[in-house]
């Protein structure tokens, strides 16, 4: 991941770049807003560390320009200790976070990791609905304290329902997702899998249930929840 450090204090800039490199980032340094614009136009940076006080223009103007472009580029602004207005202005202008100088490198690295995670969150490891948890890594179903493995297609079916909790999924969509494009033979099997999942839910006192909305499809709801046909129709997944 390549980070651009924009900072007119060349010595401090160098320290930050070195710190980022030690933390495993690649980093470039520029000392002016003009050089920053050029660098960002040519390199696809993962994040920018931006000093708001620059000699050739306000960092805030650069920040606004970057924010008005479509790409979601994480930006952490750095400001002087007495620059409270700068901080507020920075955040209002779209910075993802700010740091007051002098700051510890560990702090900058932690903030960078945090904003990068927000942009690109790690893929989910578990899905939860009521007291039902689906462990996607180990492909296990947990209801309350009861843990069990599921046959592949039942697991896939439940995963789909849980990912779309509160939304109706059409029968044809479920069949296609579970059995593939030529899944017409899976139509009857879908009912078998749904029936087995419902039995598991009931045996282990799940606090969610799988509802069949007549003429629409299926959805996962809280056990005590009811949904009108009209609301179900509005919730339909395309
Ligand atoms: Ca400065």
pLDDT at position 11, please?
94
Q: Could you tell me the distance, in angstroms and rounded to a whole number, from the CA of residue 45 to the centre of ligand 1? A: 21
Q: How confident is the model at residue 222 (pLDDT cuts 50, 70, 90)?
A: very high
Q: Which residues surround ligand 1, an ion (CB under 5 A)?
A: 8, 51, 53
Q: Could you tell me the distance, in angstroms and rounded to a whole number, from the CA of residue 225 to the centre of ligand 1? A: 57
C-alpha 135/C-alpha 150 separation (Å) is 11
How many residues does the structure list for the chain? Answer: 238
According to the per-residue pLDDT averaged within each range, which of 59-68, 89-98, 99-108, 113-122 is highest? 99-108
Q: Could you tell me the distance, in angstroms and rounded to a whole number, from the CA of residue 78 to the centre of ligand 1? A: 9
Q: Supply the mean pLDDT for the chain.
A: 87
Q: Could you tell me the distance, in angstroms and rounded to a whole number, from the CA of residue 13 to the centre of ligand 1? A: 10
Q: Could you tell me the distance, in angstroms and rounded to a whole number, from the CA of residue 151 to the centre of ligand 1? A: 60
DSSP assignment of the chain equals -EEEEE-S-HHHHHHHHHHHHHTT-EEEEESSHHHHHHHHHHS--SEEEEESEETTEEHHHHHHHHHHSSS---EEEEE-TT-HHHHHHHHHTT-SEEEESS--HHHHHHHHHHHHHHHSPPPPSEEEETTEEEETTTTEEEETTEEEE--HHHHHHHHHHHHTTTS-EEHHHHHHHHH-TTGGGGHHHHHHHHHHHHHHHHHTT-SEEEEEETTTEEEEEETT----HHHHHHT---
Express each pLDDT in 41-76 by its tens digit. Answer: 888 788 999 998 888 877 888 888 888 875 678 999
The pTM of the full predicted model, rounded to 2 decimals, is 0.53
Q: Could you tell me the distance, in angstroms and rounded to a whole number, from the CA of residue 55 to the centre of ligand 1? A: 7
| Lookup: tokens for 185 | 């033979």
Q: Could you tell me the distance, in angstroms and rounded to a whole number, from the CA of residue 104 to the centre of ligand 1? A: 17
C-alpha 184/C-alpha 175 separation (Å) is 7
User: Looking at the DSSP assignment, which residues form a beta bridge with residue 209?
Assistant: 221
* Residue at token pair 């409270």: 84
Q: Could you tell me the distance, in angstroms and rounded to a whole number, from the CA of residue 102 to the centre of ligand 1? A: 12
Q: Could you tell me the distance, in angstroms and rounded to a whole number, from the CA of residue 14 to the centre of ligand 1? A: 13
Q: Which CATH class is domain 2-119?
A: alpha beta
Q: Could you tell me the distance, in angstroms and rounded to a whole number, from the CA of residue 53 to the centre of ligand 1? A: 4
Q: Which CATH class is domain 126-234?
A: mainly alpha
Q: Please give the DSSP secondary-structure letter assigned to residue 179.
A: H
Q: How confident is the model at residue 92 (pLDDT cuts 50, 70, 90)?
A: confident
CATH 3.40.50.2300 in the chain, residue ranges: 2-119
Of 180 and 126, the one with more pLDDT: 126
| Lookup: tokens for 94 | 């779209």
CATH 1.10.10.10 in the chain, residue ranges: 126-234
Q: Could you tell me the distance, in angstroms and rounded to a whole number, from the CA of residue 90 to the centre of ligand 1? A: 14
Q: Could you tell me the distance, in angstroms and rounded to a whole number, from the CA of residue 6 to the centre of ligand 1? A: 9
């Amino acid at each position: 991941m390549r980070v651009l450090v924009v900072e007119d204090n060349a010595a401090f800039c160098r320290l930050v770049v070195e710190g980022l490199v030690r933390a495993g980032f690649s980093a470039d340094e520029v000392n002016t807003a003009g050089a920053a614009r050029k660098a960002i136009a040519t390199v696809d940076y993962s994040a920018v560390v931006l000093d708001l006080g620059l000699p050739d223009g306000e960092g805030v103007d650069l920040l606004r320009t970057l924010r008005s472009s479509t790409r979601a580029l994480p930006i952490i602004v750095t400001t002087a200790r007495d620059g409270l207005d700068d901080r507020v202005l920075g955040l209002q202008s779209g910075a993802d976070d700010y740091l007051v100088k002098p700051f510890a490198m560990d702090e900058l690295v932690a903030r960078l990791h945090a904003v990068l995670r927000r942009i690109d969150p790690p893929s989910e490891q578990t899905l939860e609905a009521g007291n039902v948890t689906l462990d996607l890594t180990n492909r296990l179903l947990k209801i309350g304290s009861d843990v069990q493995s599921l046959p592949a297609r039942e697991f896939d079916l439940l995963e789909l329902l849980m990912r779309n909790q509160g939304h109706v999924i059409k029968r044809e969509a479920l069949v296609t997702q579970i059995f593939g494009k030529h899944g017409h033979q899976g139509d009857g099997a879908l009912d078998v899998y749904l029936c087995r999942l419902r039995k598991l839910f009931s045996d282990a006192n799940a606090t969610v249930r799988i509802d069949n909305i007549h003429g629409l499809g299926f959805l996962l709801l809280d056990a005590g929840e009811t949904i009108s046909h009209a609301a179900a129709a509005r919730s339909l997944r395309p």
